[in-house]
A = this chain, B = another copy of it.
Amino acid sequence: MVEITEREVEETIDWLSGISAEGPGVTRLLYDKHWVEAQNGLKEKFEELGMKVEFDAIGNLFATLEGTEEPETIIASGSHVDTVVEGGSLDGQLGIVGPYLAVKKLLETKGKPKKTLRIISMAEEEGSRFPYGFWGSKNIFGMAKREEVEKIKDGDDISFVDAMAEAGFNFLEEDPKFAKMDAFIEMHIEQGNFLEAEGKSVGVVTAIVGQKRYDVTLKGQANHAGTTLMGYRKDAMEGAARMIVNGIDKAKAAGDPQVLTFGRVDPLPNTVNVVPGEVSFSIDCRHTDQDALNKFSEELVEDMKATAEKMGLEIEIDLWMDESPVAMDEEIIQTIEGVCEERDLDFKVMHSGAGHDSQIFAPHVPTGMIFVPSIDGISHNPAEATDTSDLVQGIEALKSSLEKLAY
């Protein structure tokens, strides 16, 4: 058989999902016993394929299949082995199972590659056990700082350093040895509903959005809901509602990929018969283009200030997250798109609205991503799912891309 079967995909995902804490979904947190068991289990699987398996000092796992002609050229794929608490069976580990099955099938059908193939099972991305994300990928490029994690603890008061030592790892003592790669492709679920809505099986990712997050506080005057005539109010909730409507209208007018979300809204005192004297709310603003993101968010902030001034409200705007967009590599995008066309896969070119390990890789390595649909857009939840036929198409796209790059 040339193609990967649905049964192989389901069995491999089920096997890895089974390595989890008790409870709904999959829970496998950095350096816990299930994490150790999963990394060791993957090590065995990769060794069965004849790959050379190594851990780096902090626990990233690298499985290497040396190329026959250009062994120094490294074509890599991978994702993170950790999950959120009670997460699903795809976020992260699909990006390890996918290249495992792809390399297995390539070995069966094409033999050894000319260039070196490498699969990476990264230690951590979610930030779910300790308040630190992208620990795995940042370490690969020497971007993680020892002092950033030396004082942090998990919810059970276990220190990051102790947890790492218990799992058998330690800080990197020298320059990271696995930073050098010539291509990296990460397979991941979309975590949105775009592919599903478009009826597509594979997404070819062009960029990962940048995002700005704000906390906004409006202060007006709390008043009696009955005795205060409309003209005598400084209604902070009215102000927030006007800003939300204006912002969303602006985002729709700007068009894709601009997204804008007012996810948290907290009026005070939040009771039926008092005009809210204060409202705080969050803004999550994302775009794939830095200039567009800056322009949109600057205008949004100006609009909010103007609304506040017009209404006699005090406004405080705190920009507490400001991450730049990350473009995927043009040649890698074209490689993936090309194989999707050649193989007549049901694909769509798109961007990623969520963050991924690939955003850490992209400044260092020509990087691309392959998405598969998320049913109902659900992720970080036991209900996270993708039709197996779509998983197969996604892994086939990855397999053909790796073949194109390494054979």
Interface residues of A (CB under 8 A from B): 190-194, 197, 209, 211, 213, 223-232, 235, 237-238, 240-242, 244-245, 248, 251-252, 256-267, 269-276, 282, 284, 286, 352-355, 374, 377, 379
Query: Which residue of chain B has the shortest Cβ distance to A270 in the bound complex?
Result: B264
Q: Does A223 lie within 8 Å of B192, measured CB to CB? A: yes
> Is the pair B256, A266 in contact by a Cβ cutoff of 8 Å?
no
Q: Report how far A354 CA is from B227 CA in the complex, Å.
A: 6
Choose among A226, A257, A262 the residue with the greatest number of B CB atoms under 10 Å from its CB: A226
Give A204 Cβ to nearest chain B Cβ, in Å: 15
B265 touches A270 (CB 8 A): yes
Residue in B closest to A283 when the chains form the complex, CB atoms: B272
Can you offer 26 A-B residue contacts whose CB atoms are under 8 A?
A: A192-B223, A192-B226, A192-B232, A193-B232, A224-B354, A225-B263, A226-B284, A226-B286, A226-B353, A226-B355, A229-B256, A230-B252, A230-B259, A235-B248, A237-B244, A238-B244, A245-B245, A261-B272, A262-B276, A263-B270, A263-B271, A263-B274, A264-B267, A265-B276, A266-B270, A273-B284
Q: How far is the CB of A328 from chain B (nearest CB, A)?
A: 16
Question: A193: shortest Cβ distance to chain B, in Å?
Answer: 5
* Assembled-state Cα–Cα distance A260/B273 (Å): 10
Copies of chain A in the complex: 2
A272 CA to B280 CA in the complex, in Å?
A: 12
> Residues of B contacting A229 with CB < 8 Å?
192, 194, 256-257, 259, 353
User: B264 to A224, Cβ gap below 8 A?
Assistant: no
Q: Which residues of B contact A355 (CB under 8 A)?
A: 226
Q: Is the CB of B223 within 8 A of A377?
A: yes
Question: Is there contact, CB below 8 Å, between B230 and A241?
Answer: no
* Residues of the B chain whose Cβ atoms lie less than 8 Å from the Cβ of A259: 225-226, 228-230
Instruction: Report whether A377 and B267 are in contact in the complex, using a CB–CB cutoff of 8 Å.
Output: no
Q: Are B379 and A224 interface neighbours, CB within 8 A?
A: yes
- What is the chain B residue whose CB lies nearest that of A273? B284
Docked-complex contact A256 and B231, CB < 8 angstroms: yes
Complex Cα spacing A276 to B191, Å? 16
Name the B residues within 8 Å of A267 (CB-CB): 263-265
How far, in whole Å, are A228 and B377 apart by their CA atoms in the complex? Answer: 8
**A355 to B226 CA separation, bound complex (whole angstroms):** 9
Minimum C-beta distance from A371 to chain B (A): 9
Q: Which 4 A-B pairs have the closest CB atoms?
A: A192-B227, A226-B353, A227-B353, A225-B261
Q: Which residue of chain B is the closest to A284 with respect to CB atoms?
A: B225
Residues of B within 8 A of A262 (CB): 237-238, 241, 276
> How distant is A243 from chain B, measured CB to nearest CB, in Å?
8
Q: Which of B227, B242, B282, B354 contacts A226 (CB 8 A)?
A: B354
A194 contacts which of B211, B232, B245, B354 (Cβ < 8 Å)?
B232
Shortest beta-carbon distance from A388 to chain B in Å: 21
Residues of B within 8 A of A228 (CB): 192-194, 259, 353, 377
* B272 near A284: Cβ-Cβ < 8 Å: yes
Residues of B within 8 A of A244 (CB): 237-238, 241
Taking CB atoms, residues of chain B closer than 8 Å to A192 are 223-224, 226-229, 232
When the two chains form the complex, which single residue of B235, B257, B261 contacts A275, counting CB atoms closer than 8 Å?
B261
Distance in angstroms between the alpha carbons of A19 and B8 in the assembled complex: 81
Task: Establish whether residues B353 and A224, one from each chain, have CB atoms under 8 Å apart when the complex forms.
Answer: yes
Of B223, B224, B242, B264, the contact of A245 (CB 8 Å cutoff): B242
Please measure, in the bound complex, the distance between the C-alpha atom of A265 and the C-alpha atom of B270, giving whole angstroms.
7
Shortest distance between the CB of A84 and any CB in chain B (Å): 13
Known A227-B377, A231-B256, A238-B244; further 9 A-B contacts with Cβ < 8 A: A192-B224, A213-B273, A223-B377, A227-B374, A229-B259, A230-B260, A241-B262, A265-B265, A271-B282
